[in-house]
């Protein structure tokens, strides 16, 4: 024992410092993994943990076995050290799969190698405890290890120890070849150049250590210094992998920071666009229950945020008593298109906003969106601005030929009266629009499609009126019939002529009744004529009753 070569400070310092470095790196990457849950960070943390156990066990062997000559305890650390080395058979391919770019075939092969490596590591662990003489002997020394105090407590190596070293050599060459392929193919030098240098150093240091017991020479820059080259090499290799991945992490963190900055900017712009606008912007579920909305929506409707999740869109829509109940079905039909077709829709309707003198008409646009995997409907409601050219309007004369379509009739009635606001109060213009719409609807229903009062009543009660209309208008005897619209607006009067291709009706009998009597007879629907009688100065039908002329005097004409 007195002839043993004494431990040197370098022999002790290298594994001790390496243990500390790897412990710090391991803790760092386990922490990064806990934040981002990326397997590559877990793989490098596991790699660092194995390296720390290996070089830490080496330091324990030197102190406990070499310095204090506690052979039994030192051999336990030698067993831990060599079991840890066996688990590199698992970690190396695991790291390969997470660190490198592999095609599908390479991924499958690498997965097989990883599982084989894990199985072998478990096998060597079981053997190390059940048949230690096959792995690390507890009863005999290696004959070539009796000259150094650093090797004093080490047991002789068994056949499976040598098998493991051979497999590790193959695994290391595999890892090296995959790094080289990635460097050539993907030019990923920032991530892989340092690990490439590290594995070269690691391989060289392992070869130097393996040759020394047999040749007695260290084939490196320090031939006369005795220390564990492999402890340095494995630490250097793991550290270069950690540094390379740290560079990637820092770049990813910078990209993430830039992304957050852009998102924050986008969010500020979004808030400015959404909260700075006077338009209503709100979202609804597929049942049209309003889930959220901007300040303009809440303010104009005199609502508070607790309305969200309770308020239905239809509750906001205004349907005048004078208007037909068809109005509700028109709106429902429009928004049902969104659910059926999934395409954005746009329409006009009145809203009963509480902070304004009277309901106003708005443009409505709806489209499907997805938030957090849930489908919602985004709605934008914009005021309809006054026509800037209306002050220059004088007169117009137009003619249209329309199909039997209620939605087109709605737009047509708006078009016919829009310039009347030059000469008549807007509230009265709205009533005229309603009356004209009802008269066009009458021409479609009772004229061209020959729908009687009872049929219409039943369809309305079932809420299927528009479907009933569409089915009717597609019948061969009705589908080619048209509605002809002619109108003239002058500073003195507005005249609207509505003609259909139907058989007409007994208009004389209807017009002979008083407005009160008409309203009495048509409680459920059919008040279009009575509304028209109250608004227009003249109502003239042709002989058979399939054409009506409505005249509204604006001011007395000069004779």
- The model's pLDDT over 341-380, given as tens digits with 9 standing for 90+, comes to 778 888 888 887 655 567 777 888 988 887 667 788 889 9
pLDDT digits (tens, 9 = 90+) for 419-443: 998 899 887 888 898 889 989 988 9
Comparison of pLDDT for 360 and 132, the residue scoring more? 132
The per-residue pLDDT for 27 is 96
What number of CA atoms fall less than 13 Å from residue 343's CA on the CB side?
4
Q: Looking at the chain, which residues constitute the CATH 3.30.450.20 domain(s)?
A: 278-383
Which segment, 2-16, 128-142, 276-290, 507-521, is predicted with the most confidence on average? 128-142
The per-residue pLDDT for 143 is 66
Comparison of pLDDT for 457 and 19, the residue scoring more? 19
User: Which residues pair with residue 345 across a beta bridge?
Assistant: 366
Architecture of domain 390-553: 2-Layer Sandwich (3.30)
The per-residue pLDDT for 556 is 58
Band of the pLDDT at 229, cuts 50, 70, 90? confident
Give the number of other Cβ atoms within 10 Å of residue 142's Cβ.
13
CB contact set of 205 (below 8 Å; sequence gap of 6+): 220, 229, 230, 232, 233, 234, 236
Percent of all residues in the chain with a pLDDT value above 90, rounded to a whole number: 39
Residue 119 has pLDDT above 90, yes or no: yes
Residue 518 has pLDDT above 70, yes or no: no
pLDDT digits (tens, 9 = 90+) for 177-193: 999 999 999 988 888 99
Q: What is the pTM of this model?
A: 0.53
Q: Does domain 9-258 correspond to CATH entry 1.20.120?
A: no
Residue 559 has pLDDT above 50, yes or no: no
CATH of domain 278-383: 3.30.450.20
Comparison of pLDDT for 500 and 324, the residue scoring more? 500
pLDDT digits (tens, 9 = 90+) for 396-408: 999 999 998 888 8
Report yes or no: 550 and 495 within 8 Å, Cβ to Cβ: yes
Report yes or no: 481 and 526 within 8 Å, Cβ to Cβ: no
Q: Which of 191, 192, 171, 187 is nearest to 120 (CA)?
A: 171
CB contact set of 46 (below 8 Å; sequence gap of 6+): 91, 94
Q: Provide mean pLDDT across the span 385-392.
A: 83
The per-residue pLDDT for 495 is 95
The C-alpha torsion from 215 through 219 and 223 to 228, rounded to 10°, is -80
Angle at 459 between CA 457 and CA 463, to 5 degrees: 115
Residue 147 has pLDDT above 80, yes or no: no
Residue 403: strand, helix, or coil:
coil
The per-residue pLDDT for 521 is 45
Which segment, 87-101, 272-286, 366-380, is predicted with the most confidence on average? 87-101
Residue 405: strand, helix, or coil:
coil
What does the alpha-carbon distance between residue 28 and residue 41 come to, in Å, rounded to a whole number? 9
Angle between helices 159-186 and 104-130 (to 10 degrees): 160
Listed range (241-250, 414-423, 550-559) with the worst mean pLDDT: 550-559
CB contact set of 133 (below 8 Å; sequence gap of 6+): 139, 158
Q: Average per-residue pLDDT in the chain?
A: 85
Rg of the chain over CA atoms, in angstroms? 44
Tokens 């016919």 appear where? 416
b/e sequence 230-259, b meaning 16+ C-beta within 10 Å: bbbbbbbbbbbbbebbbebbeeeeeeeeee
Listed range (141-145, 228-232, 413-417) with the worst mean pLDDT: 141-145
State CA 465 to chain mean position distance: 39
User: Which residues pair with residue 486 across a beta bridge?
Assistant: 399, 497
Q: Looking at the chain, which residues constitute the CATH 1.20.1070 domain(s)?
A: 9-258
Q: Looking at the chain, which residues constitute the CATH 3.30.565.10 domain(s)?
A: 390-553
């Amino acid at each position: 024992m007195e002839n043993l070569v004494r431990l040197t400070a370098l022999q002790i310092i290298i594994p001790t410092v390496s243990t500390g470095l790897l412990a710090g790196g391991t803790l760092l990457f386990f922490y990064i993994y806990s934040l981002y849950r990326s397997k590559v960070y877990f793989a490098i943390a596991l790699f660092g943990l194995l390296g720390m156990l290996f070089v830490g066990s080496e330091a324990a062997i030197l102190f406990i076995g070499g310095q204090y000559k506690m052979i039994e305890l030192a051999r336990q650390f030698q067993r831990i050290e060599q079991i840890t080395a066996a688990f590199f058979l698992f970690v190396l391919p695991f790291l390969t799969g997470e660190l490198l770019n592999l095609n599908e075939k390479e991924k499958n092969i690498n997965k097989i190698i990883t599982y084989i490596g894990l199985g072998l590591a478990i096998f060597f662990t079981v053997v190390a405890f059940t048949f230690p003489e096959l792995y690390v002997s507890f009863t005999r020394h290696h004959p070539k290890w009796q000259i150094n105090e650093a090797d004093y407590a080490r047991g002789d190596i068994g056949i499976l120890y040598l098998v493991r070293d051979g497999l590790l050599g193959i695994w290391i060459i595999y890892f090296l070849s995959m790094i080289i392929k990635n460097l050539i193919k993907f030019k990923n030098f920032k991530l892989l150049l340092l690990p490439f240098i590290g594995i070269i150093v690691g391989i060289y240091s392992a070869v130097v250590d393996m040759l020394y017991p047999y040749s007695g020479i260290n084939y490196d820059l320090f031939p006369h210094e005795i220390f564990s080259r492999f402890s340095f090499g494995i630490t250097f290799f793991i550290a270069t992998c950690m540094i390379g991945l740290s560079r990637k992490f820092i770049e990813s963190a910078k990209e993430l920071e830039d992304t957050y900055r852009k998102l924050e900017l986008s969010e500020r712009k979004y808030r400015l666009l959404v909260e700075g606008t006077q338009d209503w912007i709100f979202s609804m579920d597929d049942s049209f229950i309003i889930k959220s909305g901007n300040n303009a929506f809440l303010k104009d409707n005199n609502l508070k945020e607790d309305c969200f999740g309770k308020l239905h869109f239809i509750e906001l829509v205004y349907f005048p008593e004078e208007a037909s109940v068809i109005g509700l079905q028109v709106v429902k039909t429009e928004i049902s298109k969104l659910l059926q077709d999934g395409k954005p829709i746009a329409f006009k309707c009145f809203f009963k906003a509480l902070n304004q003198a009277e309901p106003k008409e708005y443009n409505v646009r709806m489209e499907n969106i997805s938030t957090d995997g849930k489908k919602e409907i985004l709605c934008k409601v914009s005021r309809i601005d006054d026509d800037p050219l209306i002050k220059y309007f004088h007169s117009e004369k137009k003619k249209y030929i329309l199909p039997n379509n209620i939605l087109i009739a709605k737009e047509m009635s708006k078009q016919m009266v829009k310039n009347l606001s030059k000469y008549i109060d807007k509230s009265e213009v709205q009533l005229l629009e309603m009356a004209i719409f009802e008269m066009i609807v009458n021409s479609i229903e009772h004229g061209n499609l020959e729908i009687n009062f009872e049929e219409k009543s039943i369809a309305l009660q079932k809420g299927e009126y528009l479907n009933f209309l569409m089915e009717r208008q597609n019948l061969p005897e009705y589908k080619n019939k048209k509605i002809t619209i002619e109108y003239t607006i002058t500073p003195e009067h507005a005249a609207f002529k509505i003609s259909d291709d139907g058989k007409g009706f007994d208009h004389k009998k209807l017009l002979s009744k008083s407005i009160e009597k008409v309203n009495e007879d048509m409680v459920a629907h059919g008040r279009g004529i009575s509304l028209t009688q109250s608004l227009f100065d003249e109502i003239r039908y042709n002989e058979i009753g399939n054409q009506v002329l409505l005249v509204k005097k604006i001011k007395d004409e000069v004779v």
